[in-house]
Structure 1
């Protein structure tokens, strides 16, 4: 995949990818700021600001209106690590998106009314998704258990409704001015637009944004976990759930792809270990899967299962431990690894059909490694893995002393 990188004089990084199969264009902007850049007691600010970025700026009273008039759509999302805004519209209308994005980077309007409205929206989202939804707070519990000092210990949406509601206009404005600066932004234009035109338009609309200091990130490093951790709760849910979280490396670490492949060996598809040996052969779980967090800083490897009626926590723990023990004692076969590498590559190829997904991934690779072109070697990183690599990583990964477990019990169920 061909990608061109251009650095604007104010520090904005522009990425370009041409796709002649569409008449559309995607503009993705990823700011190097997320929930990890917040302070204890002031969580959820990055996500709240994402909402406020759509409420108007100096010359754009309503962000969505001009974009919709140009035949486009827009949206955004916030993670622990980054905040992403994206616009998709006909290629000949790309300047509309660049104009609106530059205006809200230059001079966001923060009115008392918009702040109150978006606080209400976000608190309702918090209640709907995390307080009132079955199992909604399970990964909040896991994060608080697994992390003691690193800001990954709180969720992106914030720790509580009270913290979200407590933000002042001054605090929001300071966070915006600190983190929404040109040197903290990578943007990608992907679709049916030539590179020289994309560069010229980016310079026209984004190049005049004044240079501002790029914040220095100095996060507390999570100390080594020296023993297993367990928390047990009861909630109004239909079935018991167990979630284990093992400490693992970050997304840019050399061992990340081995961790990801181990999750596929255990839980990706009907030939995976969990499906073939547990779900198909026993009546212990109704669901059992594994996944990696994929966070920039050292993250978590999850094992999650819903217990069948009448199954004890010990039976569930033993079944998971049996599969991990078999993996550690006998390793992973080359056939299993080839299957997982094939699935990983096919997933990437299908994702890369979308010019908008490509734009997002190119930005992420640039922020992660400094080289957007690393997207082209991602599949090969899985193919280069050997059985010894997976065994070495698995022995370190599945150390019981590095595991945090939540027993999420249904009210009325036996302990």
Structure 2
């Protein structure tokens, strides 16, 4: 009885916590097409200003890849009113922090300041949009930075190339087929006019969402946004041609030799629906059940119990047009990558054939409710969620309702979606192997 009461109290407390997490926001458009989202939270004197641009590696020319990621770096070089090297100093002198990141579909810039420096954040982002300097000095500098980043993260990093290799094999027509960092040869051969054209095309207010979240006065914030962003001219409409991939009907076998590793790996990658579709949410739950963390089925079975794997991992690739479920592992001792593949397939077959237990189902629900709370536990996290839900999922209010989608997913749905997408003939099987050294 005591255990029952404790469980009931926990459930009630969790439910109260989830309901208490509602994020209140306001959104509107400026005349130039910039979408604005405001979230007021005056509990702490902190504010995040963030701008997400609807441009990622998929928007690049196949012969000029790497531009979206390159601009993530280039647009910190300075503007007509911010000298080179001053951006970081301005942020630091106002007690703030900042960063940026790029993925397949979007590029995201953000600053977090004490709330009395809100205007600084708005000014910085309006400068990035209105007055960037796309000059040869900055381009040459950032080419060196990107080259070093590639050497550090891909070329000289153990297992660093698997993302690019998987994308190349998962897609044959879609621009997801090249890596986000792109080709250094393409960047090296690009002209200054190429970079200026990319900026003029994609870095326009009607291709962006501005989020201001935190300790703000809404009328004053709206006035500042109007002053700083209102005069920026609207850009030309951006043509977007959605490329439809042919389905994978026969297993794609791929091999890659990495000079930076000693232990081979097997990676199995399945092309799945875009992140806004309901089936994508079901795949998220399947991924968590099978391979997310030390409590997952595959980890417990292969690492803890049978001890045939050194590590089991999953790599979610959630994107706008298509997503991917990637699962893999590293063998230990005399075991092989084939042994690991056989065990993964056995667990996938179970989930395709039988309903997961009610206990495991409740564990999944608890995990996703916890993830939901954590994602919105900071002002910067809320800003990111608001931007992504608006731009990539078409519904800003998912910040409040997304958990309801997960709650509504049934055990039968988990089984049926696994049957639909996790078929051996619909995947890429990547054997990621140590590079063989020639004997002297």
* Mapped partners of 1:207, 1:334: distance in 2: 54
Deviation at 1:393?
Answer: 0.5
What do residues 324-383 of structure 1 show as CA deviations (whole Å, max 9, x unaligned)? 112112122232122112111112212212101100110000112333112101111111
Work out whether 1:60 is the aligned partner of 2:69.
Answer: no
TM-score (norm 2): 0.91
Q: Secondary structure at the match of 1:292?
A: coil
Instruction: Report the equivalent of 1:181.
Output: 204
* Mapped partners of 1:281, 1:85: distance in 2: 44
Q: Is the 8 A contact 1:260 1:291 kept in 2?
A: no
CA RMSD of aligned residues (A): 1.5
Match of 1:143 among 167, 185, 201: 167
Match of 1:306 among 330, 338, 355: 330
* Mapped partners of 1:310, 1:345: distance in 2: 40
Q: Secondary structure at the match of 2:397?
A: helix
Q: 1:270 to 1:127 in 2, by over 3 A?
A: closer
* Mapped partners of 2:278, 2:204: distance in 1: 30
Work out whether 1:168 is the aligned partner of 2:184.
Answer: no
* Mapped partners of 1:268, 1:143: distance in 2: 21
What do residues 113-153 of structure 1 show as CA deviations (whole Å, max 9, x unaligned)? 11100000001101111001111101211111111111111
Gapped runs of 5+ residues in structure 1?
none
Instruction: Report the equivalent of 1:371.
Output: 395
Map 1:360-399 to 2 at 5 A. 360-399=384-423
Q: Is the 8 A contact 1:30 1:363 kept in 2?
A: yes
Q: Secondary structure at the match of 1:255?
A: helix
* Mapped partners of 1:331, 1:295: distance in 2: 28
Q: Is the 8 A contact 2:294 2:300 kept in 1?
A: yes
Map 1:240-259 to 2 at 5 A. 240-259=264-283
What do residues 38-79 of structure 1 show as CA deviations (whole Å, max 9, x unaligned)? 011211001111111000111111323322222222211111
* Mapped partners of 2:323, 2:138: distance in 1: 35
Map 1:9-408 to 2 at 5 A. 9-61=31-83, 62-158=86-182, 160-236=183-259, 237-408=261-432
Q: Secondary structure at the match of 2:129?
A: helix
* Mapped partners of 1:364, 1:240: distance in 2: 35
Q: Is the 8 A contact 2:275 2:393 kept in 1?
A: no
Q: Is the 8 A contact 1:261 1:337 kept in 2?
A: no
* Mapped partners of 1:153, 1:140: distance in 2: 8
* Mapped partners of 2:31, 2:222: distance in 1: 12
* Mapped partners of 1:130, 1:260: distance in 2: 26
Q: 1:63 to 1:269 in 2, by over 3 A?
A: closer
Deviation at 1:412?
Answer: 5.1
* Mapped partners of 1:289, 1:257: distance in 2: 19
Q: 1:408 to 1:291 in 2, by over 3 A?
A: closer
Deviation at 1:223?
Answer: 1.0
* Mapped partners of 1:55, 1:239: distance in 2: 40
Gapped runs of 5+ residues in structure 2?
1-22
* Mapped partners of 1:333, 1:295: distance in 2: 30
* Mapped partners of 1:161, 1:180: distance in 2: 22
What do residues 224-279 of structure 1 show as CA deviations (whole Å, max 9, x unaligned)? 11100111233231211111101101100111110000001102344421123222
More divergent stretch after superposition (304-313 vs 75-84): 304-313
* Mapped partners of 1:163, 1:282: distance in 2: 47
Instruction: Report the equivalent of 2:16.
Output: none
Q: 1:270 to 1:120 in 2, by over 3 A?
A: closer
* Mapped partners of 1:171, 1:113: distance in 2: 15
Instruction: Report the equivalent of 2:14.
Output: none
Q: Secondary structure at the match of 1:372?
A: coil
Residues matched between the structures, number: 412
Deviation at 1:194?
Answer: 2.3
